[in-house]
Amino acid sequence: MADLLRVHNLSIEYASPRGVVKAVDEVSFSIGKGEIFGLAGESGCGKSTTAFGISRLLRHPAKLTGGSVLLDGTELTALSDEEFDRLRWSKLSIVLQSAMNNLNPVLKIRDQLVDAIVAHEPEARREALQRAAHLMKLVDLPADRLDSYPHELSGGMRQRVVIAMAMALKPSLVIMDEPTTALDVVVQNGIIRKILELQKEFGFSILFITHDLPLMLEMCDRIGIMYAGKLVEVSAREEILRGARHPYTQGLLGSFPALSGPKQRLAGIPGNPPDLIRPPAGCRFFPRCSQAVAKCQTLQPALKQDNWGQIACHLYTEEGLSREQASAARE
């Protein structure tokens, strides 16, 4: 599968009164054309900051301090704001957790959809309303809702409008940051089904961000696991379902109820993520890791490619072990 997005060594910091927060630290991953790539990890590990860095939504005190974001051959970090605005919606669009952050509360849905279309395709003004109605149909909303203001719609309907807007110009990449977290489970399921249906129909790639690992395992082709600003594992869904390799991913999986099989007590991960102003010198997960070896305390593991995916863990990177070999070596 050809790459659509290539993120290389992306680094983003926040200036804070206590010091510099290294929220995203040399993160690299790629997303193939038509692929659904998930980014998971505990709250505060840098998922949203990564998404904002890619989509140019970082605001002071956040600062992109290094790295490259290549979208279909275009280096996004090198574009001027005007050049980037031309790509927004047409090549890349973003769906945020709260629809109200995506929608203008004082404009009717009709005007927001039409404006989004006309801003990029001025020649489409005459057919824009028709296209807006078609977009509403795509997300299963009645066309008369075009006359509503955002506050007149339910949370689920608003999120459907945002998804319709994200689709309006047929982008090749849609970034979804916790798109259903604020919604109840039934509405959430309906929206996830809709997203998958649209993705199949139009073939765009998705960067899907959530802390809900089971949901991610249902819908993503490959999953990147972030911990304390670092990407620690990237694996195909099937690999993670067979059994995660990184001790942090294992812990994360143990924090959620199993998708099937008998009910088990949730294990959780003891301790808390580190302070990102003064992260541990070695592996950032070391203080919480039950499988750590001596060098984990002092030597930061690099993210390395092997037969099973990418992993940043001394249990694997030095010797290129499979999950089974690594656990056998530990026993």
Ligand X SMILES: Nc1ncnc2c1ncn2[C@@H]1O[C@H](COP(=O)(O)OP(=O)(O)OP(=O)(O)O)[C@@H](O)[C@H]1O
Q: Which one among 14, 89, 227, 308 touches ligand X, defined by CB under 6 A?
A: 14
What CA–CA distance (Å, rounded) separates 267 from 253? 9
Cβ neighbours, 10 Å, residue 216 = 22
| Minimum CB–partner distance for residue 247 and ligand X (Å) | 19
Tokens of 231: 């990407």
CB 267 within 8 A of CB 273: no
Nearer to ligand X, 77 or 317 (CB): 77
Nearer to ligand X, 45 or 167 (CB): 45
Nearer to ligand X, 46 or 309 (CB): 46
What CA–CA distance (Å, rounded) separates 52 from 50? 5
| Minimum CB–partner distance for residue 37 and ligand X (Å) | 15
| Minimum CB–partner distance for residue 42 and ligand X (Å) | 7
| Minimum CB–partner distance for residue 210 and ligand X (Å) | 8
Tokens of 85: 């605005």
Burial class (CB in 10 A: 0-12, 13-18, 19+), 66: middle
List the beta bridge partners of residue 246.
Answer: none
Nearer to ligand X, 141 or 276 (CB): 276
Nearer to ligand X, 61 or 142 (CB): 61
Position 16 contacts ligand X (CB under 6 A): yes
Question: Which of 316, 299, 315 has its CA nearest to residue 307?
Answer: 316
Q: How many residues bind ligand X (CB under 6 A)?
A: 15
| Minimum CB–partner distance for residue 272 and ligand X (Å) | 11
Nearer to ligand X, 58 or 146 (CB): 58
| Minimum CB–partner distance for residue 275 and ligand X (Å) | 8
| Minimum CB–partner distance for residue 81 and ligand X (Å) | 21
Nearer to ligand X, 25 or 35 (CB): 25
CB 204 within 8 A of CB 4: no
Tokens 């824009």 belong to 128
Does a cis peptide bond (omega within 30 degrees of 0) precede residue 247?
Answer: no
CA dihedral 203→204→208→214, nearest 10 degrees, is: 0
Nearer to ligand X, 16 or 298 (CB): 16
Binding span for ligand X by CB under 6 A among 13-21, 124-132, 247-255, 289-297:
13-21
CB 213 within 8 A of CB 28: no
| Minimum CB–partner distance for residue 168 and ligand X (Å) | 26
Scanning residues 143 to 182, which ones bind ligand X (CB under 6 A)?
none
What CA–CA distance (Å, rounded) separates 276 from 259? 32
Binding characters for ligand X, 29-68, by CB under 6 A (x = yes): ------------x-xxxxxxx-----------x-------
What CA–CA distance (Å, rounded) separates 7 from 27? 7
Cβ neighbours, 10 Å, residue 98 = 16
Scanning residues 271 to 300, which ones bind ligand X (CB under 6 A)?
276
Cβ neighbours, 10 Å, residue 119 = 15
Residues at the interface with ligand X (CB under 6 A): 14, 16, 21, 23, 41, 43-49, 61, 211, 276
